[in-house]
Amino acid sequence: MIFRIKPILCFGLLLLGSTCWLPAQEVVSGIFGFQKITLSANSDSIIAVPFNRLSADSGLVSSVSGSVVQVQGTPNWTASQFVYSAGVQSNTYYARFDSGAWEGRYFTITNNGTNSLTLNLAGEVLAGVLAGDAVSIIPYWTLGAVFPNGGNPTNWNGVHVTTSTFSHKTDLLIPDFTGNGKNLAPTLFYYLYTNATSGANWRLSGQTTNNNDDILRPNTYFIVRNSYSNATFVAMGDVQTTKTVVGIRGSLTVVQDNFVGLPRPIEVSLDNSGLLTNYSFTVSSSSFNQKDQLLIFNYTNVAKNQAPVDFYYYLTNAGWRKSGAGTTNYGPSNVFVSGGGFIIRRATNSITGPFWTNSPTY
C-alpha cells in the first residue's frame, strides 16, 4: 500500500457548501474529499455526488479480446470477485479507463478471472483500448453506500428514516434515463423504512424488497425530497483526476432531455467544461431559434418539483448566452456547481451516442 500525502485544499462552493481535499489514505485513490450539502425541509435537492467510491484495484491493459480485458502482471484476483451477489457481494463494479484514447469511459464488470475483466459493452467495441492503457476497478455508488447508517437510528446521512409506509419523511427520486422527450417525470421512488421488528432498508414505493444494493449511475443526478426537518448530506470519496466521459442521448423526432452531473469537487465554467469543444453541442444561429440547451437549477430554492431556472445556449460567433439575459457572454461563468445536477436538452434532429469529454481543471 502506497500513501500519497497531499496538502489540504479547500474550495468555497457556490450555494451547496464547501469541499476539502484531504491526504489520501490509500494507494488506489489519489485524493480524498468531502462536501456538505443542506437538504432543506419540505423541498427537493438536486444532487450529483462529486466523488467516486474508492477503487478496489487498478492496473495496465495487456490485451483486449471482444469484451474481455487482460491486465498485465499477476493481480491474483479471485474468480468473480467483482461480480454482484445478493447477500454475499453487495457491490456492483465497473472498469474505468484512466489513460489512452478511451480515458474516462467506463463499463460494468460482468465477470472476472485472476487477471481478466469481462465487460458489458452495451453494443460497443473496445477498438480504441490499447496495451498499456490504465484501468481502474471501482464499485458503483449504491443507496446503502451513499446513505450509510452512521449510528443515528432516525437519520442516515441526511435521510430521515420513515416508520410509516403511508407517510414518507424522505424520498429519493431517480430521473427517467431512457424515456423519450423533455420534462420527463422521475421513474423510481425510494424511501428508507424501518419498523419495530426489522432494521432500516431502502424500499421502492409500494414494495417490501430491500434495495440497499441498487446502484446510482455515474455522471447523473438524483433528487432528495425532504418532507421533514432540515438535514445535512455529506458526500465523500475519491476525487477523480482523470477525464470523465458522459453519454448524451438525442433524437431525430423529439427534443431529448439528459439528466447529468459531473464528478468534480469544484465549480466549472462553461468555457472550461468542454461542452462545446469536446462534444457535438448543436450551435444556435439565432436567439429566436435555439438548438441544444443547458438547463440549470436554482440550488437555493426551497420547493418541491423544481424546474430549471436558467437556459444557456451557444450562439454562432457570439459565445455562451442565457435566455432572456441580453448579449452577455456567459462562457467564463461557473454554472456547473459541485454537487449539483443539470439537464442537457438536445434539439430535434440530433443523434444518440455522442460523448461529452470533461477534463479536470485541477
Percent of the chain at pLDDT exceeding 70: 91
The predicted structure's pLDDT at residue 26 = 37
Do the Cβ atoms of 52 and 305 come closer than 8 Å? no
pLDDT averaged over every residue in the chain: 91
The predicted structure's pLDDT at residue 197 = 65
Q: Each residue of 87-128: pLDDT tens digit?
A: 999 999 999 999 999 999 999 999 999 999 999 999 999 999
**Cα 40 from Cα 38, distance rounded (Å):** 6
CA distances from 336 to 50, 177, 215 (A): 11, 20, 24
Identity of residue 121: L
Architecture of domain 57-139: Beta Barrel (2.40)
Domain boundaries, the chain: 57-139
Q: Each residue of 64-79: pLDDT tens digit?
A: 999 999 999 999 999 9
Q: Each residue of 281-327: pLDDT tens digit?
A: 999 999 999 999 999 999 999 999 999 999 999 999 999 999 999 99
Q: Which residues fall within 8 angstroms of residue 262, CB to CB, at 6 or more apart?
A: 48, 50, 219, 244, 246, 268, 273, 336, 358
31, pLDDT greater than 70: yes
25, pLDDT greater than 70: no
CB neighbourhood size of 328 (10 A): 11
The predicted structure's pLDDT at residue 9 = 42
CA distances from 94 to 108, 128, 215, 232, 240 (A): 4, 18, 11, 29, 15
Q: Each residue of 196-253: pLDDT tens digit?
A: 666 789 999 999 999 999 999 999 999 999 999 999 999 999 999 999 999 999 999 9
49, pLDDT greater than 80: yes
The predicted structure's pLDDT at residue 3 = 26
- Provide mean pLDDT across the span 248-270: 96
The predicted structure's pLDDT at residue 153 = 87
Which H/E stretch holds residue 273? helix 270-273
Q: How confident is the model at residue 167 (pLDDT cuts 50, 70, 90)?
A: very high
Do the Cβ atoms of 182 and 10 come closer than 8 Å? no
Rg of the Cα trace of the chain?
21
Q: How confident is the model at residue 150 (pLDDT cuts 50, 70, 90)?
A: confident
10, pLDDT greater than 80: no
The predicted structure's pLDDT at residue 352 = 72
**Cα 145 from Cα 142, distance rounded (Å):** 5
Which residue blocks in 87-223 are alpha helix, DSSP H?
A: 143-146
**Cα 260 from Cα 268, distance rounded (Å):** 14
Q: How many helices (H) and strands (E) does the chain have?
A: 2, 26
